[in-house]
Amino acid sequence: MDRSPPHSLRRAVDISSLAALAPLAVVLPFSLISFRLFWIPLNAGLGWLGVTVSFWVLPLGWTAAAVCLFLRFAQTLLLAPALGARALTAEEKTAAQPAWEEVTRSAGINPNRFVLRVIDADELNAFACGGHLVVTTTFALRQLGRRELAGVFAHELSHHLGLHTISLTLIHWYSLPVIALARIGFAVKNVARAATETFVAHSSALTAIGKTISGVLTGLSWMFLSVLYASDAVGNLVGHRSEFDADQRSVRLGYGPELAAALSTVITHGGGQRSVGWRQRLRASHPPARTRVARIEASLRHPSGL
């Protein structure tokens, strides 16, 4: 099969990358609320020192830090360790590097533009993150041959080419203030409840006040957590389109059979099963492996439809 780099496989915004921003629309308003709640005590504390800080310093500073996440050196030094990913050993490089260089060469891309990392995990998995990271698992490196590994790398590279990773990184970044506020809320709630039971149990009025405060904090914390659950659900639904689009890019790149073989290996190991019920479908980040294989094989039989 001809594996010359087609022009359509360059980095470009597509429908999937735009749809993947939907979860960000869910998270962003609550992220701003979180910044506001953090700013209130911060501004009050600095006010004692005669310093005034505009509220917008926090969200704008957070956004500036998000831009740094897409710099290659920041992803290598900060993002990869935060994900639990490490550099490949010499033995792992022997398995992964030839497949990766083959795929990037087919796409007409310098392999050194991206960073390969590995996570110690007993599951067949790989993902793309930031603007330059491609992460796989030790289990995948052990279980997949060079042919299947090339198919996996083609799929992850296709996510980068479709700019799908930008929205995913931003969603996780803007979720952090919401997560922090929810955790603080639960912690303060526990402190308020313990203080109520220890110090004011003798007073029914003070006990009622303590329980009210604890209840309000619990409600607020669960509200912020529900936003994260909703964002994940929306992200999973629109993410299925991104997975299918990355599969099709892999086919156009010339690695459809290799990717189908890798997905078949996932099926053999009991992964990629079809979700049963709407709850499982909302929690499923990927479409069923059998469905993906069927679509890939259909595209290989009818390449004119790509």
pLDDT of residue 162: 84
pLDDT digits (tens, 9 = 90+) for 86-107: 999 999 999 999 999 999 999 9
Query: What pLDDT sits at residue 27?
Result: 87
Please, what's the largest Cα pairwise distance for the chain? 81
Question: Is residue 128 classed as helix, strand or coil in its secondary structure?
Answer: strand
* Alpha helix (H) residue ranges in the chain: 15-19, 22-47, 57-68, 72-74, 80-82, 90-106, 138-143, 146-161, 164-199, 204-253, 256-268, 277-283, 289-301
Q: Where are the domains of the chain?
A: 8-305
Strands of the 126-129 sheet, one edge to the other? 115-119, 133-137, 126-129
DSSP tag of 174: H
Centre a 10 Å sphere on the Cβ of residue 148 and count the other Cβ atoms it contains. Answer: 24
Single-letter amino acid code for the residue at 115: V
Which residues of the chain are under the pLDDT cut of 70?
1-17, 189, 191-211, 213-217, 234-238, 271-285, 304-306
- The pLDDT of residue 298 is 93
What pLDDT is recorded for position 278?
42
- pTM (two decimals): 0.77
